[in-house]
Amino acid sequence: MSFEACAALVEKADPLRFRAAMAAPVSARKILFPLYAFNIEVARAPWVTQEAMIAEMRLQWWRDALEEIADGKTPRRHEVVDALADCLDSEGARCLDGLVAARRWDIYSEPFEDRAHFDEYINATSANLMWTAARLLGAADEVVVRDFGYGVGVANILQAYPALTAQGRKPLSNNTEKAIAELAKSGLARMDQARKNRRAVSKAAGAALIAGYHARPVLQKVQREPARVVADALDVNPARDSLRFLHVTLRGWWH
């Protein structure tokens, strides 16, 4: 029941990725749901306790599980780990280890050191997850997938900005309107670059990129009106969001 448990977890905790996974072929869901469930477990680990040491231990538990998978050992019993072990190879396990390591930033209240540090975090979290999924699904160019994943990660953190700051985190090293607009611009530029090279991502691998369908409109809105980020005004029109999702699923992730 590990796969079914993963799907149920994603449906409850990450409706956007659940929707994206359900739009993918049935065979792709066997990879997407375990990866997305893993991402949920890791992403929430720093937030379930205010004790930094306990949060560190939770993240280390996942790193140890990934190491077991990477080394070809029988992994510890856990619904998500069981499903991961069925679809993840050594390369994927080591890539996801970078995701877990990056999530240590979420435990503490220190800001990113600089823009380079921020970019490393986005690449290790959003892009690592998307690249692992795409590679396991089919042929894909890593640079193209990571460019797209970077834009998606920037959009996600801009949307999460009010919630993160309310929890005492500092998700942006520079939260001036100019800096926020520039960040959105850079995210869009990376997504545009990925779109230009979309033929380097097979249709099968492209199923992993559907989860980023929402990012472009968010980044475009932030570039035009960066004050919306701090004001918690990046609301999504449900009807427009549904139309965009349909458009992407029918025409391709690059639209």
Distance separating alpha carbons of residues 117 and 122, to the nearest angstrom? 9
Long-range contacts of range 101-104, CB-CB < 8 Å, 24 or more positions apart? 101/59, 101/63, 102/128, 103/42, 103/43, 103/45, 103/46, 103/59, 104/46, 104/56, 104/59
3-state secondary structure of 72: coil
The mean pLDDT of 5-22, rounded to a whole number, is 97
Q: Give the model's pLDDT for residue 173.
A: 85
How many C-beta neighbours within 10 Å does residue 212 have?
25
- 3 state SS of 109: coil
Q: What's the full length of the chain, in residues? A: 255
SS3 call for 140? strand
- The tens digit of pLDDT for each residue in 44-61 reads 999 988 899 999 999 999
Contacts with 210 (C-beta within 8 Å, 6 or more apart), sequence order = 20, 23, 24, 248, 249, 253
| pLDDT tens per residue, range 113-127 | 999 999 999 999 999
221 near 234, Cβ under 8 Å?
A: yes
**AA identity, residue 98:** G
> Do residues 117 and 174 touch, judged by C-beta distance below 8 A?
no
CA distance 193 to 36: 25
Q: Which two tokens stand for residue 133?
A: 């999924």
- pLDDT digit string, tens, across residues 157-213: 999 999 999 999 999 989 999 999 999 999 999 999 999 999 999 999 999 999 999
Q: How confident is the model at residue 1, as a pLDDT?
A: 64
Question: What are the backbone angles phi and psi of residue 214, rounded to the nearest 5°?
Answer: -85, -15
In 138-237, which ranges are continuous DSSP H helix?
Answer: 142-166, 177-196, 203-206, 215-224, 227-230
Predicted local distance difference test score (pLDDT) of residue 236: 87
